Amino acid sequence: MASSGKAIRGRFAPTPSGRLHLGNAMTALLAWLQIRSAGGEIVLRLEDLDRQRCKPELASQLPGELKWLGLDWDEGPDVGGPHAPYEQSRRTAQYERILDELQRQGRLYPCYCSRADLQAAASAPHGLDAEGPAYPGTCRKLTALERTERALRKTPSLRFAMNEEATYRFHDGIAGETTFAGASGGDFVVRRADGIVAYQLAVVADDIEMEITDVLRGWDLLDSTPRQLALYEALGSPPPRFAHSPLLLGGDGSRLSKRHGAVSLTELRDRFGVRPERLLGFFGMARRAVRPNRRDEGCGLGRRL
Ligand code: GLU
């Protein structure tokens, strides 16, 4: 790990939309090992912005699930700390300040595209990337009059305008030298039409304010990194060091996910009597991991390690 002279700070940033599964637990363990082995501090932050998907009872059980595994942290919703609150749903004022700043810079614009418009864009050749449909920039080109007309019919989302000329290069602690060229998936949403702040904006705002120096997270978020780097650049903050760790695969070869009913830590403990040390041993031997191909090698899921 490179040393910048700053205190090393990492974080766990789970989304309480389901019980933690083995994949989430392995990523949390790797982040914990990375930070604790360097004598650093860890923040637990609950990424509960999407009130429809996130459940308060899952959020309240999360700290206990991580503790059962043997992990600990220095700041978080349960222990407090200088950067409280540690639940994203309670940090709207912070995000609005950042949105105002980007608005002042002229980097945001309203987007009136419907889901159908976005799907049509996705079916165009090269229209899809691992982050979802690449946005073709339709609403970026609207005139003031067109915006006024559309605003009468639809509440817009807000998009961040990527710099099409930029190339984002960074050293990933696991993926190595990584390059994303061009607009990397196009202009992206920072606030949804229903007013909910989007993940990309919230995660960058929080990692800056919480002074996070090292982000270790799942490989599925590698494609989000150029967008986040563009936000760090616009906000004049140095980005953290990134490391994207391989994802665990289920028995059928697909990656574990809460939605696909991956067995949860709680179930392993309560139904099958599994001890945490057995899980730690299992992670040490895990072979069935997957990573999406790097963008510069072509996109898509499926390469086994
Ligand atoms: N909240 C995200 C998740 O649960 C992680 C975000 C991040 O680590 O940047 O997948």
In the chain, where are the structural domains located?
9-90+246-300, 94-168+182-191
pLDDT at 289: 55
Assess whether the C-beta atom of 15 lies below 6 angstroms from ligand 1.
Answer: yes
To 5 degrees, how large is the angle CA 166–CA 162–CA 219?
A: 80
Residue type, 77: P
The residue to mutate among 217, 227, 258, having the most atoms of ligand 1 within 8 angstroms of its beta carbon, is 217
C-alpha span between 261 and 278 (Å, rounded): 21
Omega cis (within 30) before 63:
no
CATH of 94-168+182-191 among 3.40.50.300, 3.40.47.10, 3.90.800.10, 2.130.10.10: 3.90.800.10
C-alpha span between 51 and 142 (Å, rounded): 31
Q: How far is the CA of 15 from the centre of ligand 1 (A)?
A: 7
Helix (H) or strand (E) holding 11: strand 9-12
Q: How far is the CA of 45 from the centre of ligand 1 (A)?
A: 10
Write the DSSP assignment of 194-233 as a string of letters.
TSPBPHHHHHHHHHHHTT--EEEEEGGGGGGHHHHHHHHH
Q: How far is the CA of 90 from the centre of ligand 1 (A)?
A: 17
pLDDT at 56: 93
C-alpha span between 274 and 160 (Å, rounded): 45
H helical segments located in 71-134: 92-104, 115-123
- C-alpha 218 chain-centroid distance: 9
Model pTM?
0.89
End-to-end CA distance of the chain: 23
Helix (H) or strand (E) holding 282: helix 276-285
Q: Which of 146, 150, 119 is nearest to 135 (CA)?
A: 119
CA distances 158 to 27, 103, 150, 195, Å, are 31, 10, 14, 9
Asked if residue 249 lies in contact with residue 26, where contact means CB atoms within 8 angstroms, the answer is no
C-alpha span between 186 and 53 (Å, rounded): 25
CATH code of the domain made up of 9-90+246-300: 3.40.50.620
Chain position carrying tokens 């982040």? 31
Helix (H) or strand (E) holding 190: strand 188-191
Name every residue whose Cβ is closer than 8 Å to that of residue 267 and which is 6 or more positions away in sequence: 19
The residue to mutate among 15, 46, 54, 228, having the most atoms of ligand 1 within 8 angstroms of its beta carbon, is 15
Asked if residue 175 lies in contact with residue 215, where contact means CB atoms within 8 angstroms, the answer is no
Q: Of all atoms in ligand 1, which is nearest to the CA of residue 207? A: 9
* DSSP bridge partners of 80: 76
Q: Of all atoms in ligand 1, which is nearest to the CA of residue 217? A: 8
Q: Which residue's C-alpha comes closest to atom 5 of ligand 1?
A: 13
Q: Is 290 helix (H, G, I), strand (E, B) or coil?
A: strand
To 5 degrees, how large is the angle CA 103–CA 109–CA 112?
A: 145
pLDDT at 5: 64
List the chain pLDDT tens, one digit each, 305 residues: 444 567 999 999 999 998 999 889 999 999 999 999 999 999 999 999 998 899 999 999 999 999 999 999 999 999 999 999 999 999 999 999 999 999 999 999 999 998 888 877 766 544 434 455 688 899 999 999 999 999 999 999 999 999 988 899 999 999 999 999 866 778 999 999 999 999 999 999 999 999 999 999 999 999 999 999 999 999 999 999 999 998 887 766 677 776 666 788 999 999 999 999 999 988 887 765 555 444 333 222 233 22
